[in-house]
Structure 1
């Protein structure tokens, strides 16, 4: 498009009267006012207005009136509704726009004092984004959702919005070119709307795969990780100011081949792969140096000359691959820094111990040590780690612990410095949830140590993994994945048999019967109302690998890590 300057709408901008301006904004009151001000001030030659979600007629009239008053009607060249009110983090993952995350957060949906009007606003915000998503996809989904939840409210509203748009044949966004270009043009996709409350243990779970660990323990937002690099220990005189830590940002994107290959791998495999890449890079670098030194050969004998011409070809090849080599070095440095930062957290907080213990709790496996011992161990993790572990135990337990046992746990948690507000909320949630009698089942899984670390453990390794368990995951389906599997494969299962069914293309909005022709779906979108996480995303990615020709997209109203989620639980527990 030849865009030469990128500016924020509400920044101070100087007039550039001979340049066209492209606006890409949400149609909020504040943004519309600022655009009208720009028209009045004659800032640009022409205006191309792109709205992230559909602009209302009244706001469009406000812009028209401002353009008329400023004699700038001819300068407004184009006005578009772009229907892009969502953020794509991966080819198969999206979240709602995050300008006002608090509006659609788990806390906002579940707070006891929420009014009907506020709840309507939350649901409308989620539905608007999902509508944008399906317009962009160019497909009208079949919708399934659980009953009596926020997910059902979203389903009813989305069905109505899609139905109204399809009925208006002249202005429908799902006809003609759009539908033909859609990724799902041959078969309609399934949209599974699930409520966060069906599984509160997974968002609290300590994880073991690279991407989920980065999100859990580091500052990772919109595919960018921010690290604080320690400047090393300095021999500074007593009383001197400590040296400030350098902050570095890295983008972890699809262009990063190492990230694409290993983001779903268990952490010890990642550490080993970084080490292998480093050794491979050093070998290539040494080869270039060796060839350079050979090029300085002395002597005129035939052998030397023939060797020179042979090595010239090799050096030319090596030089041409230099940009590739430099990029490889950049990625190795990046992942060495990121993986080292993750490893520091694993070792300092014994995250391998937490991960293994939680897996056993969630899969109802025999526990090898007492929960009280871990909570009481001053060297095992932060107060938040201990709280996460106990909440997972409490959520997953078939029967809640007795009052006497609970008091003992609460005392140990308090002694460890834990805030008990999250537990207060989970107790209320468990009392009200229908699931209380049948907690979410996490399948049978075991984590078994394997001999992957032998090479990583050697003295030349960048990663001293000593004392860290090498746990390798065994595939298990989390509740969200299991629900998707039932609905996508049209399996009969008590867990999903009463899920509501909506088809916005049907003339009558009657959801009482699921069609008799039970053909499995090839494409599905899972959307979690109340927030999602990389653990669920990775679980779905692993699940679909074994299903040839099938595709899944994962979406959520917000993407949070355990720290952010437990903060919301704490706020709910204060009420």
Structure 2
């Protein structure tokens, strides 16, 4: 799985070099060209390749397909777009207008034959057949945000959103279109990964629909051996290994509490309280600064963007850390930088000594080498200063939200709710406190309480809560939907008890800041982060949960599913190394960080997280608010969906449940089947 981002990075670089291997000779001059992309292509490229990298590859100009573009007749153009009707029409228009010297057409997903014929007809009519040099299907229709995280799309994500999948008036044709869109992106993902997965999913929800369609699409491609994307020249190094990935599909409806949770880790907090999309955070310049003096003209605030990339060592080290630890680390980095800066100034002062004092001359000689080293490291020092300023500004903005909304109180209280710990304050007190958060914060807290409660509150208590929420300015439509969602779910016989041995303290990750730190966490307490771990993760055993999971192996003959399901664990050789967890209906950074922490605790195991869209709590509540408050979708009413009484379906449980019983490779040798459990 670690090769995924390298594969995609290489595929993009190859595409930008006219679909030829990139030049290995750094001294060789690249061919100068322009890059034309649509919004989808822009979203795919921007998290992986910066402007400098594009310039190094000869991209002098990158423009949106539907922008006003002037002709550049002596320069080749590389197109990277979705094969939509609008895009095809615009490409045909470019051919007629003779905008560029030559055209290299790269489609994000496979283009249909009819649309290809439209381009051919336009090229013929414009006498530009020889100028259309290459046409490629790139199969890159997904967005890589981290080495171990991907999403399907950012543009038009409302078309495959939680609301779109679960709306009450959805037609069968609409659902088919949504599933096809998701499956097309997942197919591209596995083509780029270069591996055919083993698929496992729960029954009776959208995840199962995706699994069935993906299995069918993979089988159809494998059946055509001559043109298969997983064989022959298209095979990557991963194909020569028996390490096939386990692909676990989960449905968002299995857990509606986690997307509402107030989090405490740096990356998830930024996504929750700031404008953070595609690894770029946008905020008003001066956010968190002191207000203008009375009577002074208020300063006009400008928007500033910060890219949080893999090249940012501080970000890579601390994005999953609790916020107080991040704040302390920013201060430490700042102190280290100032010490280095003072050393450079001291050496400069020594170099400027005058006179023939022997002591001064001796000191000058001793420090010449040090100054030379300091000057050579100056670019690195300036970059370090830039990153410190970046994280100082971002952390300050996050801290303002924590202090003004008392997010530490919400986080601690929700942790206790989920772990069934003793509460030191009544829920009604927090909801009624005018200084404790926004109306949305209060609604999120109450929804988590309602979802995770083993026993629903009485009607009298519920009315009291609803009145308090309304008095706090809350819109109750999300609660109305959650009530129906919970009523239509089939409760498991044995609800998960997060208060027992399943909850294991992972130690104090945060400490009180030093008094000298500019990030003194007033009102922010030391908190113990909990990890919910099921006993089923620790031992390979069949359970009612695993029995209800469907199994698909696109490489096996039809009818093999029943054979695999009936195999006992004694017949299976455990061989689990790679897994991909994908959430249909949307995901979040909280689940991603949980899986990252889980993978770190399992030496040699790789886990990758994906979701159809990435949303924060505010965006999720907005979708829930749209849901019909009178009825649920047919998916809820007619499908037999299994939940535990807490309403949560922990992704770590889902992953390990599948790993325990999944038969992933079936090789026939001398008439006997050898089974490997991945």
1:556 and 2:611 correspond: yes
- Cα distance in 2, alignment partners of residues 179 and 44 from structure 1: 34
How many pairs are equivalent? 564
Shift of 1:67: 1.2
Q: CA deviation at 1:100?
A: 1.0
CA distance in structure 1 between the partners assigned to 2:622 and 2:272 by the alignment: 14
1:539 lines up with 2:539 in the alignment: no
Match of 1:174 in 2: 230
Residue aligning to 2:73? 17
Closer/same/farther in 2, CA of residues 195 and 435 from structure 1, 3 Å limit: farther
1:266 and 2:337 matched? no
For the pair 1:525 / 2:525, whether they are aligned, the reply is no
Question: Which residue is equivalent to 1:76?
Answer: 132
Partner in structure 2 of residue 373 of structure 1: 429
Aligned to 2:511: 452
Structure 1, 125-134 or 504-513: larger mean CA deviation: 504-513
Inter-partner Cα distance in structure 2 for 1:300 and 1:105: 76
Which runs of structure 2 are paired with 1:135-154 in the superposition (5 Å)? 135-154=191-210
In the alignment, which of 484, 488, 491 is matched to residue 428 of structure 1? 484
Within a 5 Å distance, the mapping from 1:307-386 to structure 2 comes to: 307-386=363-442
User: Which residue of 2 is the match for residue 92 of structure 1?
Assistant: 148
Contact 1:139 1:174 in 2 (8 A): yes
Gaps of 5+ in 1: none
CA distance in 2, matches of 1:286, 1:183: 54
Please say if residues 325 and 510 of structure 2, whose CA atoms lie closer than 8 Å, have aligned partners that are also in contact: no
Higher mean displacement: 298-307 or 555-564 = 298-307
Say if 1:457 and 1:466, in contact at 8 Å, map to a contact too: no
Q: Contact between 2:267 and 2:319, CA under 8 Å: does it hold in 1?
A: yes
- 1:209-254: CA deviation from partner (whole Å, max 9, x where unpaired): 00000000110000000111246433353xx763222321100000
Distance 1:434 1:510, change over 3 A: farther
Does structure 2 retain, via aligned residues, the 8 Å contact 1:397–1:439?
no
Aligned partner of 2:546 among 472, 490, 496: 496
- The unaligned stretches of length 5 or more in structure 2 are 1-16, 18-57, 631-678
What secondary structure sits across from 1:139 in the alignment?
coil
Query: Is residue 2:67 matched to residue 1:8?
Result: no
TM-score, structure 2 as length reference: 0.80
603, 606, 624: which one aligns with 1:569 = 624
- Aligned pair in 2 of structure 1 residues 184, 438: CA closer, same or farther (>3 Å)? farther
Tell me, what secondary structure is at the counterpart of 2:192? Answer: helix
1:113 aligns with 2:169: yes
**Inter-partner Cα distance in structure 2 for 1:469 and 1:182:** 47
SS of corresponding position for 1:112: coil
Secondary structure in 1 aligned to 2:104?
strand
The match for 1:252 is 308
Farther off after superposition, 495-504 or 288-297: 288-297
2:659 corresponds in structure 1 to none
Could you list the per-position Cα deviations for residues 97-142 of structure 1 after superposition, in whole angstroms to 9, with x for gaps in the alignment? 2221011100111111111000000000000000000000000000
For residues 174 and 56 of structure 1, the distance between their equivalents in structure 2, rounded to whole angstroms, comes to 20
**Equivalent residue for 1:62?**
118
Equivalent position of 2:246 in the other structure: 190
How big is the shift at 1:70?
1.4
After superposing the two structures, state which structure 1 stretch, 301-310 or 85-94, moved more.
301-310
Deviates most, 173-182 or 497-506: 173-182
Aligned to 2:360: 304
* Counterpart secondary structure, 2:627: helix
Query: Which residue of structure 2 aligns with residue 471 of structure 1?
Result: 527
Shift of 1:54: 0.4
Distance in structure 2 (CA, Å) of the matches to 1:358 and 1:423? 17
How far, CA to CA, are the matches of 2:353 and 2:84 in structure 1? Answer: 71
Contact 1:457 1:465 in 2 (8 A): no
How far is the alpha carbon of 1:301 from its aligned partner? Answer: 4.4
Q: 1:387 aligns with which of 443, 446, 467?
A: 443
Partner SS, residue 311 of structure 1: helix
Name the residue aligned to 1:511. 561
Match of 1:233 in 2: 291
SS of the residue corresponding to residue 621 of structure 2 reads: helix
Q: Which deviates more, 508-517 or 277-286?
A: 508-517
Aligned counterparts of 2:168 and 2:198: Cα–Cα separation in 1? 31
CA 1:19–1:299: 2 relative to 1, 3 Å: closer
User: Contact (CA 8 Å) 2:261, 2:445: kept in 1 or not?
Assistant: yes
CA distance in 2, matches of 1:142, 1:451: 39
In 2, the alpha carbon distance for the partners of 1:394 and 1:111 equals 22
Superposed CA RMSD: 2.0
Shift of 1:470: 2.4
CA distance in 1, matches of 2:324, 2:444: 23
Distance 1:491 1:85 in 2: 37
* SS of the residue 2:145 aligns to: strand
TM-score under structure 1 normalisation?
0.94
Cα distance change, pair 168–183 in 1 and its aligned pair in 2 (3 A): closer
- Paired position in structure 1 for 2:653: none
| Aligned residue in 2 for 1:407 | 463
Aligned to 2:583, the other structure's residue is in SS state strand
